Structure formats: structure tokens, C-alpha cells
């Protein structure tokens, strides 16, 4: 499986998969959908990966480039356990190629002992990174999220294709913001525990894992505060797909099907901290995992969900990637 | 029958001698020359995300090269060069005493143990050794807390991770072995009688080292510098793992063009320019190293004439 960092309970991709399904999983990680697509495209069907986990809007181009194959739905009967709200999405209306793994959102996480101000919005995040936490902040290393931060703060839809918006975004992020960044880090949880950043942009599940890591490292998780991005933020859904040319397609189907069993799915959820889209979620949680920690970082109210925007792949994506790269060069070059 | 077999065995190999090099030539053609040729080709293409290999070779242009020539590329390149040059220098300074000690100062069996100590860390993967630096350098780590407790550093703890300093420290560590081994081999091959002769002829320790040992170790130093400096310039693991946004190196920048931006033409152009610049840096470096002693030698007759003049002026009585 080629997936996002720390994205499954280690038992489920390790010993338990071996003992239950007789499947040995090997897991490799990427930091962005662009990385995933490059790796699959460069090896043209011989990457050796069976399962890949792209975010929804990237699925159509992966189908078009022949990077993923149709699912054999007869091998995934457990798809009926998935809440219909999370099936039949715009990118794959018939779920011929993909099935929901989980969905989540983006916000940030900060150390209240180092940052005195109460933060609530993306604008607060930007101001803090450029002020109190200058040189001590990290941002997600994926272009849409990085640029989205600025769009959301300025009440612009992050799917904008307007040249003026993109120009303004580039001007601000590259010339004013980049120099304050300590790292471009898609999975800051471990480094937060090391004490590397005092504020970090993060996906909700990763921020929740940071709580656990900080505690393990002897820190005090209560010092840290999670903020859901506002006024708007992201809603993304990652999906299990089977790579074209997968050497073990049957085992891949078997494993995906197994991960869609409600109890297994909740076990996974308890680890990675993302809503897995199972039917009757609240009932399941109270039955299977009543002592789940930090549920407020996994489940969001209708009002919160209403502020979340789904990404659309537009020609502007190239521009966003360009802005990220220019920012990286700028952030790194300033000391030279 | 027996006779003829023996004669075949005894017959000398008469094929062209370069045949022995064929495996190496094939290897380099397939795995070095061909990929480099592709990179050169890509660098003249244009980006086309709709393709599997996102390069359009339909209309060749030098657009990517002109895109490379901006300030950020040069700044990153300069940072890379600075880190690599300093790290190579530190490797020589740290590696030379170790190699000297192993070659001249210890018994035969200890040589093997010292060399093993140099080589054994590389049994672990390069990446793991680099990630391992995050543990002692962590601002919340044990070492950091201890240093804060002793009052030696500020309350913020060790603030080295995610800076060029972290890259500098780890890159010296990562490549030190590649410096020590060639230095050791060069020093170990020096005939002890040469050094003895030098001492017999009245040279002191320093004069023997500077006049005999060091020049004879020259090829080893050159090999060590080549084996460390060139890979350091292209290293991106160390910078990616430890450097954060500030410790960026050109290797990481090129990698992000290929994987993140999917701009293979720009990444290729950067790679080609980097190869050229590293070659240039090496040529300049060696010209300096080559010219310096020759200039000194050129100047030496003059120096000696002057010195003789001074000596004769000072002691006219002895004449």
C-alpha cells in the first residue's frame, strides 16, 4: 500500500492482517497527491503498489492516465457498511474505482505556553506565524492547503481561478510569509512532540495524534490547542483504490473489504483520528469505542461541516504548486 | 588430446585488452550515460501534465534554463556550495588525524579495529543515521533538558533542528567515512623508510609531515575530497530530514521539481546546471591547489638568494 503518513492502525496493516487474512502488508508513504501521481506515472504500472489512497478530486485524472483499475465490487461486499453520504461522490459517481477510506479537514495546533493570544481563524494563524511564532511555525507541504490558508483567511474560495486572486496570494505568501516558516511538514505530530514548532498547520487526525505523541514524549498535551480553520476550511475525502498493474490485486481487495467491517473501521479510526464514513457512526462509537479520546477533533457538527469546502482540480493547480515551490526557495534562501 | 588441451590453456589471451572493460562500459552506458542523456533531453522540453511522463518534446526550447536563472536558485545553490565546501574541509580536518593515527601509530590488529569502527555505522541505512540525529538535537529531548538544567543554554532548549547548522553537522557525520578510508589507504602505503630518511636527514616531526607524508598522501586527499564533496552537493536526504525550510539544499529543490511540481524540464535544467557548476567548482579548486605549490616553487630560488644575501650580510666574518 502506498498511502499518507501514519494513516492506519499499525495492527491492521501488520500482525492482525497477517493472522486474520493471511496478507502481509508493506506500507510506503507520500506527502501529497502530486507525489503519488508522479511515482505511479513514472513507473507506468510497474510501481509494485497494490493499494493507493488518493484524495477524491485527483481520482478522475488517475483514471484517465490509467493509474488505477476498476474495483471488483463482488470482492468488497462490505461496501454496504459505508454511509451513502460518503459514496457516489462527484469524482466517481458509481464507485467503480474507489471507496471512501475516511474524510477530514484542516486546521492548526499551537502551544498555549508559547503563544499568549487566543487564536480562532486562519488570519490569526498567519499573524502569529509572522509575529510571535516567526521561525517556529510549520505549514502543510501540499500546495492547495498552503495557498488555501491565505484564500480562506481572505474569504476567497480556495478553488479560485481568478488571476488577480492567485497573483495576490503569490505576492503575499512568497514575499511576506515564506521567510517566517520553519518547515514545510505534512505530518508535524512527531516533531511537535520533539518541541520543534510552537504552531503547526495540520490535518485534524494528525493534530489528534500529536496529543498522544506529546504525552508519550513527557510533555503536557493540555498546553496545546487545536483550532479548526475559519471562516472556511477544507473538506477532503481519501479513497481506497487499486493501482493499475497491481501484483496482488486479490489480496488488496480482501484487505480493503476487511477494513470496511465496522469494528475494524472503528479500531482504525481510534488510531488515525479521521471519520471513516461508516453508517450509524455515533451508535458504533458508543458500542465499540466509548472511551475514544478527543472525539471533537474527529466528528464535526453540521455548522462546522457547512464551512468546509471540497477541492476542485482546476488549471490553477499548477500555479498553486508554483507558489509553494517559490515559497520553499524563498524560505530556504533567506539565510544564504 | 591432452597435449592440445594444455596448449589451449597455455595460449595467451590475444583479444583486444579493452574487452576487460566491457562490463563496466555497458553498466555506465545503461545506468549513467543513458539517464543523463534523457535528463539533457527533458531539460529542453516543456511541461505537459497531461502525459504520463509530463514532458512535451514536440517543441524544444531553452525556456527552462532561463527559468532557472533567478535569484532563489542561486541563493540555494550558494548555500549548498557553502555547506559542502565547509563540510569537506571539516572532513579533512577531522579525518586526517584519525587516518594518520591508524596508519602510523597503532599495531596491525588495531588498524583493522579502527577501520571497522569507521565502516560499521554505514551498515545502517543512510536515512536512519540521519533521522537518528533528531533524537539528541530535539528541543524537548533529554540532552536538551540536561543542558538547560545545567544552565548552559537558554530555556528554549537546543534550537538546531530545521536549520542549516543541523544539515552541516549531520552531513559531516554522514560522509566522514568516505574521507577517512582513502586517506588511510594513502598514508598506509607510504614507505616507512621515506619518513625515517627524512628524520635521519635532520627534518623534525612537522617538517617530515609537511614535506614528506602530506605530499605522498596527496592522491588520498584528492580521492577523499572527490568522494565527499560531489555526493554532498547532490545530497538531499540530510537537508530534507533535518534542514526544514531554512536548510534547503539544491538536491531537495530538484527533487521537489520532479515529484511535487511535476516540472521535469525545470528539474532537469537545474540538475544539468548543478552538474556543470560542481564540475566548475572542482576545476577551480584543483587549479588553485595545483598552482599554489608551483608558485611557491617558482618563488623559492628568489627567496633563497635573498636569504643567502641576508645571511652573508649578517656574518661577514665567517666568509
pLDDT given at position B93 = 95
- Interchain CB contact of B48 with A (< 8 Å): no
Exposed, middle or buried by CB within 10 Å (0-12, 13-18, 19+), for A168?
Answer: middle
pLDDT-based confidence at residue B318 (cuts at 50, 70, 90):
very low
Tens digit of pLDDT for each residue in A157-177?
999 999 999 999 999 999 999
Segment A317-327 shows an average pLDDT of 88
pLDDT recorded at residue B9: 57
Phi first, then psi: give them for residue A200, nearest 5 degrees.
-145, 135
All three cell numbers of B169: 553537522
Q: Is the pLDDT of residue B6 over 80?
A: no
Give the residue from A170, A319, A332 with the most B CB atoms within 10 Å of its CB, the best one to mutate: A332
What percent of chain A has a predicted confidence (pLDDT) above 90?
Answer: 65
Question: Residue A321: pLDDT band by 50, 70, 90 thresholds?
Answer: confident
> Counting Cβ atoms within 10 Å, is residue A216 exposed (0-12), middle (13-18) or buried (19+)?
exposed
- Interchain CB distance below 8 Å, A34 and B259: yes
Regarding whether A139 and A95 lie in a shared domain, the answer is no
Residue A55 burial (10 A CB sphere; 0-12, 13-18, 19+): buried
* Bridge partners for A68 per DSSP: A243
Instruction: Read off the C-alpha cell for A189.
Output: 505530530
Tell me the average pLDDT across B114-125.
Answer: 90
Residues A23 and A99 in one domain: yes
Of residues B230 and B68, the one with the higher pLDDT is: B230
Cβ of A336 within 8 Å of Cβ of B82? The answer is: yes
**Shared-domain flag, residues A191 and A274:** no
- CATH superfamily, domain B71-286, is MetI-like (1.10.3720.10)
- Do A69 and A92 fall within a single domain? yes
Per-residue confidence (pLDDT) for residue B303, from 0 to 100:
61
Between B97 and B261, name the one with better pLDDT. Answer: B97
Per the CB < 8 Å rule, is A194 touching B134? yes
Q: What pLDDT score was predicted for residue B317?
A: 47
The answer on A312 and A197 residing in a single domain is yes
Closest CA to B251 of B99, B118, B77, B44: B77
Cell of A151: 484564500
**Shortest alpha-carbon distance between residue A205 and chain B (Å):** 22
The predicted structure's pLDDT at residue B319:
40
B71: nearest Cα among A8, A332, A232? A332
End-to-end CA distance of chain A: 39
Q: Averaged over B103-111, what is the pLDDT?
A: 90
Q: Do A125 and A214 fall within a single domain? A: yes
pLDDT of B7 > 80? The answer is: no
Q: What is the pLDDT of residue B1?
A: 45
Q: Inter-chain contact B261–A335, Cβ cutoff 8 Å?
A: no
Answer whether residue B35 shows pLDDT above 50.
yes
* Structural domains of chain A, count: 2
The mean pLDDT value for A196-218 works out to 91
Q: Which chain B residues contact residue A38 at CB under 8 A?
A: 258-259, 262
Pairing of strands A181-184, A137-139: parallel
Kindly indicate the confidence band of residue A109, based on its pLDDT and cuts at 50, 70 and 90: very high
Q: Specify the CATH number for the domain of residue A190.
A: 3.40.190.10
Q: Which chain A residue has its CA at the smallest distance from B78's CA?
A: A336
pLDDT above 90 for B78: no
Cα-to-chain-centroid distance, residue B303? 36
ipTM strictly over 0.95?
no
The answer to which of A259-263, B130-134, B153-157, B164-168 has the lowest mean pLDDT is: B153-157
Does position B244 have pLDDT exceeding 90, yes or no?
no
Beta strand B46-47 with B55-56 is: antiparallel
Q: Which residues contact A159 (CB under 8 A, 6 or more apart)?
A: A309, A311, A312, A314, A316
What would the mean pLDDT of A89-115 be, rounded to a whole number? 94
Instruction: Say what the pLDDT of residue B307 is.
Output: 63
- pLDDT tens per residue, range B145-188: 888 888 888 887 888 888 889 999 999 999 999 999 999 999 99
B259 inside 8 A of chain A by CB: yes
Q: Which domain holds residue A77?
A: 2-103+235-300
Nearest C-alpha in A relative to B245: A183
- Burial environment of residue A268 by CB neighbours within 10 A (0 to 12, 13 to 18, 19 or more): buried
What is the model's pLDDT at position A159? 93
Q: Over the stretch A34-76, which tens digit does the pLDDT of each residue have?
A: 889 888 988 877 888 999 999 999 999 999 989 999 999 999 9
Please report, for chain B, the start and end positions of each structural domain, with discontinuous segments joined by +: 71-286
Same domain, A198 and A315: yes
Q: Does A143 touch chain B (CB under 8 A)?
A: yes
Q: Which residue has the higher pLDDT, A168 or B211?
A: A168
Measure B227 CA to nearest chain A CA, in Å.
25
pLDDT, mean of residues A151-157: 95
Q: Left if phi > 0, otherwise alpha if psi is -120 to 50, otherwise beta: which for B150?
A: alpha
SS (H, E, C) chain A: CEEECCCCCCCCCCHHHHHHHCCCCCCEEECCHHHHHHHHHHHCCCCCCCEECCEHHHHHHHHHCCCEECCCHHHCHHHHHECHHHCCCCCCCCCCCCEEEEEEEEEEEEECCCCCCCCCCHHHHHHHHHCCCCCCEEECCCHHHHHHHHHHHCCCCCCCCCHHHHHHHHHHHHHHHHHHEEEECCCCHHHHHHCCCCEEEEEHHHHHHHHHHHHHCCCCHHHEEEEECCCCEEEEEEEEEEECCCCCHHHHHHHHHHHCCHHHHHHHHHHHCCECCECCHHHHHHHHCCCCCCHHHCCCCHHHHHCEEECCCCCHHHHHHHHHHHHHHHHHHCCC
Amino acid at each position: 500500500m502506498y498511502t499518507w503518513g501514519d494513516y492506519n492502525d499499525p495492527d491492521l496493516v501488520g500482525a492482525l492482517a497477517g493472522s486474520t487474512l493471511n496478507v502481509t502488508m508493506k506500507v510506503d508513504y507520500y506527502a501529497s497527491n502530486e507525489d503519488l501521481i508522479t511515482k505511479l506515472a513514472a513507473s507506468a504500472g510497474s510501481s509494485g503498489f497494490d493499494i493507493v489512497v488518493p484524495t477524491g478530486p485527483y481520482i478522475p485524472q488517475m483514471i484517465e492516465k490509467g493509474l488505477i483499475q476498476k474495483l471488483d465490487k463482488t470482492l468488497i461486499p462490505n461496501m454496504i457498511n459505508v454511509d451513502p453520504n460518503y459514496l457516489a461522490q462527484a469524482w466517481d459517481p458509481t464507485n467503480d474505482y474507489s471507496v471512501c477510506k475516511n474524510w477530514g479537514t484542516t486546521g492548526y495546533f499551537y502551544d498555549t505556553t508559547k503563544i499568549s493570544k487566543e487564536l480562532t481563524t486562519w488570519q490569526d494563524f498567519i499573524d502569529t506565524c509572522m509575529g510571535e511564532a516567526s521561525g517556529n511555525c510549520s505549514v502543510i507541504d501540499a500546495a492547495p492547503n498552503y495557498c488555501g490558508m491565505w484564500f480562506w483567511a481572505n474569504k476567497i474560495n480556495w478553488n479560485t481561478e481568478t488571476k488577480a486572486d492567485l497573483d495576490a496570494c503569490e505576492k503575499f505568501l512568497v514575499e511576506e510569509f515564506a521567510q517566517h516558516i520553519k518547515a514545510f511538514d505534512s505530518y508535524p505530530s512527531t516533531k511537535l512532540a520533539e518541541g520543534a514548532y510552537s504552531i503547526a498547520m495540520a490535518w485534524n487526525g494528525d493534530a489528534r495524534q500529536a496529543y498522544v505523541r506529546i504525552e508519550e514524549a513527557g510533555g503536557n498535551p493540555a498546553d496545546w490547542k487545536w483550532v479548526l480553520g475559519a471562516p472556511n476550511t477544507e473538506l477532503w475525502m481519501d479513497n481506497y483504490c487499486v493501482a493499475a498493474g497491481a501484483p496482488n490485486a486479490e489480496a488488496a481487495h480482501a484487505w480493503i473489504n476487511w477494513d470496511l467491517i465496522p469494528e475494524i473501521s472503528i479500531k482504525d479510526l481510534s488510531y488515525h483520528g479521521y471519520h471513516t464514513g461508516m453508517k450509524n457512526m455515533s451508535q458504533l462509537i458508543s458500542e465499540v469505542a466509548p472511551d475514544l479520546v478527543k472525539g471533537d477533533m474527529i466528528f464535526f457538527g453540521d455548522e462546522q461541516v457547512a464551512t468546509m469546502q471540497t477541492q476542485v482540480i482546476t488549471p490553477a493547480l499548477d500555479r498553486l504548486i508554483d507558489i509553494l515551490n517559490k515559497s520553499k526557495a524563498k524560505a530556504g534562501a533567506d539565510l544564504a | 588430446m591432452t597435449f592440445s588441451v594444455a596448449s589451449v590453456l597455455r595460449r595467451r589471451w590475444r583479444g583486444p585488452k579493452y574487452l576487460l572493460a566491457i562490463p563496466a562500459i555497458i553498466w555506465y552506458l545503461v545506468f549513467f550515460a543513458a539517464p543523463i542523456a534523457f535528463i539533457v533531453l527533458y531539460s529542453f522540453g516543456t511541461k505537459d501534465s497531461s502525459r504520463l511522463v509530463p514532458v512535451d518534446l514536440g517543441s524544444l526550447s531553452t525556456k527552462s534554463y532561463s527559468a532557472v536563472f533567478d535569484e532563489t536558485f542561486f541563493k540555494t545553490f550558494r548555500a549548498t556550495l557553502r555547506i559542502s565546501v565547509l563540510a569537506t574541509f571539516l572532513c579533512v580536518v577531522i579525518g586526517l588525524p584519525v587516518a594518520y593515527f591508524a596508519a602510523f601509530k597503532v599495531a596491525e590488529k588495531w588498524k583493522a579495529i579502527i577501520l571497522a569502527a569507521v565502516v560499521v555505522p554505514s551498515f545502517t541505512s543512510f536515512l536512519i543515521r540521519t533521522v537518528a540525529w533528531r533524537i539528541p538535537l530535539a528541543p524537548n529531548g533529554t540532552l536538551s533538558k540536561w543542558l538547560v538544567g545545567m544552565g548552559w543554554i537558554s530555556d528554549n532548549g537546543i534550537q538546531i533542528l530545521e536549520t542549516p547548522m543541523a544539515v552541516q553537522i549531520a552531513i559531516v557525520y554522514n560522509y566522514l567515512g568516505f574521507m577517512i578510508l582513502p586517506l588511510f589507504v594513502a598514508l598506509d602505503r607510504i614507505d616507512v623508510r621515506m619518513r625515517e630518511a627524512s628524520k635521519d636527514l635532520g627534518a623534525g616531526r612537522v617538517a617530515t609531515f609537511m614535506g614528506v607524508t602530506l605530499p605522498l598522501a596527496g592522491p588520498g586527499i584528492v580521492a577523499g575530497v572527490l568522494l565527499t564533496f560531489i555526493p554532498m552537493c547532490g545530497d538531499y536526504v540530510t537537508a530534507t530530514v533535518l534542514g526544514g525550510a531554512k536548510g534547503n539544499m539544491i538536491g531537495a529543490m530538484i527533487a521537489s521539481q520532479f515529484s511535487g511540481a511535476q516540472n521535469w524540464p525545470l528539474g532537469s535544467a537545474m540538475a544539468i546546471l548543478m552538474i556543470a557548476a560542481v564540475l566548475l567548482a572542482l576545476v577551480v579548486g584543483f587549479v588553485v591547489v595545483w598552482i599554489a605549490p608551483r608558485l611557491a616553487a617558482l618563488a623559492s630560488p628568489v627567496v633563497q638568494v635573498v636569504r643567502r644575501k641576508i645571511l652573508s650580510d649578517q656574518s661577514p666574518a665567517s666568509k
